[in-house]
Amino acid sequence: MKLGIVGLPNVGKSTLFNAITQAGAESANYPFCTIEPNVGVVAVPDDRLKFLTDLYQSEKTIPAAIEFYDIAGLVRGASKGEGLGNKFLSHIREVASILQVVRCFEDSNITHVEGSVNPLRDIETINLELVFSDLEMVEKRLQKSEKLVKGDKSLLAEVDLLKKIHSTLEEGLSARSLEYDEKELEILKTFNLLSMKPIIYIANVAEHEVSNEGADNPYVQQLRGFAKTEGAEVVVICAKIEAEISELEEEEKAMFLEELGLSQSGLDRLVQASYSLLGLISYLTAGPKEVRAWTIKNGTKAPQAAGKIHSDFERGFIRAEIVAFDDLVNCGTYAAAKEKGLVRLEGKEYVVQDGDVILFRFNV
């Protein structure tokens, strides 16, 4: 799962990204992740893994992970090829969701590219570049579809949708600010619009503001108000503090967070917000060799969930032996859960739930 970090220069992107790579999960555990200089892999915090590791005396514990991409280089005019322009935009096309870092801290020593701190203007600057890029794409597609629809009426829905999006983009608004029915959403997937990507705004606040989530910071209030109009989320962090936290050992980290009056690091909150934004859940596999969390989309059926482990598991899927994590905790052991009939056999149509502890049966 890839998330792209964007934002204007000097808002704190690199500071946050350094915190991410410092805190980063050991890449050796994640052979499926492409490790490049601009990619950071972060473990998804999950207390359930510790219980399972103790229960099975497992040799290895592998949390679910999220990949963060540092997509630097966005400036005003990117969609017209300024700066890294188009290269930057093509990177955004590849991510599942966008994390936009927004400067909400005042610091006269750190120049702002636009001369002053102003989150709404900064967001507009970035979002407009995405909107312009989409506008170009939508116009091209509309031209083509309007020609083709004369001979192929099945394209009518697409033409209507393109027109609807076009007028919104022309107003400078993101495609995600519109509402769509299911059929439209199906068509939309094929467009891969940048301004349709789910977004989290990261309010980067000053060190002393982080303990109450920037409640007294007017910039954060403005940001929250704007995010609401898009149905987007806001996560308040202090990138500088995150960078400090990421250098600490687990125990020191807990103490430091307590001193700050926080129960979780900003990074952990960010990972969780990303997880819920993308509609993700984790199922678990457990044994003496390894305890592991696997990321799936909410609504995934058992064979496809098995396919996350290996494509053979999906192809040869027979059934899944499942116990809900809470049932396992209440019973104490797998055997006890089985005795109580809480280990279920589920077939191809079963929709996997968050926290299902699963053993897949399959043919090779």
Binding residues: 10-15
How many residues in the shown chain lie near ligand GDP by CB under 6 A?
16
Q: Does 246 bind ligand GDP (CB under 6 A)?
A: no
Q: Does 204 bind ligand GDP (CB under 6 A)?
A: yes
* Residue 187: closest CA among 152, 215, 154: 154
Q: How far apart are CA 23 and CA 42, in angstroms?
A: 7
CB of 111 to ligand GDP, least distance (A): 9
Q: What are the structure tokens assigned to 340, written together?
A: 């109580």
Q: How far apart are CA 68 and CA 78, in angstroms?
A: 21
Q: What share of the chain is helix, strand, coil (3-state, %, to 5)?
A: 45, 20, 35
Write out the binding residues for ATP: 10-15
- Nearer of residues 13 and 197 to ligand GDP, judged by Cβ: 13
Collapsing DSSP to helix, strand or coil, 353 comes out as coil
| Beta pairing class for 199-204 and 97-103 | parallel
- Nearer of residues 48 and 240 to ligand GDP, judged by Cβ: 240
Q: Does 68 bind ligand GDP (CB under 6 A)?
A: no
User: Are 120 and 226 spatial neighbours (Cβ–Cβ below 8 Å)?
Assistant: yes
Distance of CA 143 to the CA centre of its chain: 33
Stretch that binds ligand GDP, among 138-146, 176-184, 237-245, 257-265 (CB under 6 A): 237-245
The one among 39, 239, 270, 323 contacting ligand GDP by CB under 6 A: 239
- Nearer of residues 7 and 303 to ligand GDP, judged by Cβ: 7
| Binders in 120-179 for ligand GDP, by CB under 6 A | none
- Nearer of residues 238 and 296 to ligand GDP, judged by Cβ: 238
The one among 94, 110, 167, 231 contacting ligand GDP by CB under 6 A: 110
For the sheet with 60-62, list strands across it: 60-62, 290-297, 280-286, 356-362, 317-324, 344-346
The one among 35, 157, 206, 273 contacting ligand GDP by CB under 6 A: 206
* Residue 278: closest CA among 264, 292, 299: 299
Collapsing DSSP to helix, strand or coil, 346 comes out as strand
CB of 70 to ligand GDP, least distance (A): 8
- Nearer of residues 80 and 208 to ligand GDP, judged by Cβ: 208
| Binders in 25-44 for ligand GDP, by CB under 6 A | none
Q: Does 269 bind ligand GDP (CB under 6 A)?
A: no
Alpha helices by DSSP H, the chain: 13-23, 48-56, 85-93, 119-148, 156-170, 182-189, 218-230, 239-245, 250-260, 266-277, 302-307, 311-315, 325-331, 334-339
Q: How far apart are CA 330 and CA 337, in angstroms?
A: 8
Stretch that binds ligand GDP, among 60-68, 102-110, 180-188, 318-326 (CB under 6 A): 102-110
Stretch that binds ligand GDP, among 146-154, 232-240, 314-322, 338-346 (CB under 6 A): 232-240
* Residue 98: closest CA among 220, 201, 242, 226: 201
- Nearer of residues 3 and 173 to ligand GDP, judged by Cβ: 3
Q: What are the structure tokens assigned to 130, written together?
A: 């995405």
- Nearer of residues 155 and 243 to ligand GDP, judged by Cβ: 243
CB of 71 to ligand GDP, least distance (A): 11
What string of DSSP letters covers 254-285? HHHHHHHT-SS-HHHHHHHHHHHHTTEEEEEE
CB of 10 to ligand GDP, least distance (A): 4
Q: Does 240 bind ligand GDP (CB under 6 A)?
A: yes
Pattern of binders to ligand GDP over 3-22, x per CB under 6 A?
----x-xxxxxxx-------
- Nearer of residues 12 and 355 to ligand GDP, judged by Cβ: 12
Which residues of the shown chain bind ligand GDP in the complex (CB under 6 A)?
Answer: 7, 9-15, 105, 107, 110, 204, 206, 238-240
